[in-house]
Amino acid sequence: MIDILVYLFENYHDFSARPKSKTLKRRLSAVGFQDEAIAVALRWLDGLKAAPVVVLGGDSRATRVYLPEEQRKLGVDCLGFIAFLETTEVLTPALRELVIEGAMLLEEHPVPLSTFKIIVLTILWSREQVLEPLIVEELLDDGDQRLLH
């Protein structure tokens, strides 16, 4: 699924310009992605598109307390990365919750940081957030290599 998300980001810089799911499924299949992975990725994206961003009230400096299952699933690296993104004001509290929700849906346990970064990038991309080039670089860097070709 992550490879498909990277491919989509790479080829459809404007989220709203991407084709409808049926056409996209054919295109992804034509470039060699497996049908099962395509179905999972498109379901995840459709759920993401449908998910409302709820404006959370209260103080934006409030501390988010993570549930034990969130701590186990996300691990120290992902939780630290969330803190970094909040500090740099890339993630609002509402987007943070969407990122956490998206990551919790993944099968991997704990979620690798490189995978988590793609989830963050995809969510920001789907919400058409303006991203600074250095943030995009950070999101595409998995430590050993860039995730985009």
Give the pLDDT confidence of 16-54 residue by residue, as tens digits: 777 888 888 999 999 999 999 999 888 888 777 666 666
pLDDT bracket for residue 148 (50, 70, 90): very low
Task: Read off the DSSP letter of residue 116.
Answer: H
Q: For the chain, how many structural domains are there in total?
A: 1
Whether residue 80 is contained in a domain is answered as yes
Tell me if 114 is assigned to some domain: yes
Query: pTM score, two decimals?
Result: 0.79
Indicate the SS3 state at residue 32: coil
For residues 91 and 82, the answer to whether their CB atoms sit within 8 Å is yes
Q: From 106, 37, 49, select the one nearest 74 (Cα to Cα).
A: 106
pLDDT in tens, 60-70: 667 889 999 99
Cα separation, 140 vs 146, in Å, equals 6
Rounded distance, CA 81 to CA 139, Å? 10
Cα separation, 125 vs 135, in Å, equals 12
* Residue 97 covered by a domain: yes
In a domain, 145, yes or no: no
Residue 101: inside a domain, yes or no?
yes
Q: Are the CB atoms for 140 and 2 separated by under 8 Å? A: no
**149 part of a folded domain:** no
**Owning domain of residue 72:** 2-140
Q: What are phi and psi of 75, to 5 degrees?
A: 70, 170
Residue 60 in any domain: the answer is yes
The rounded mean pLDDT for the chain is 84
N residues, the chain: 149
Is 122 inside any structural domain? Answer: yes
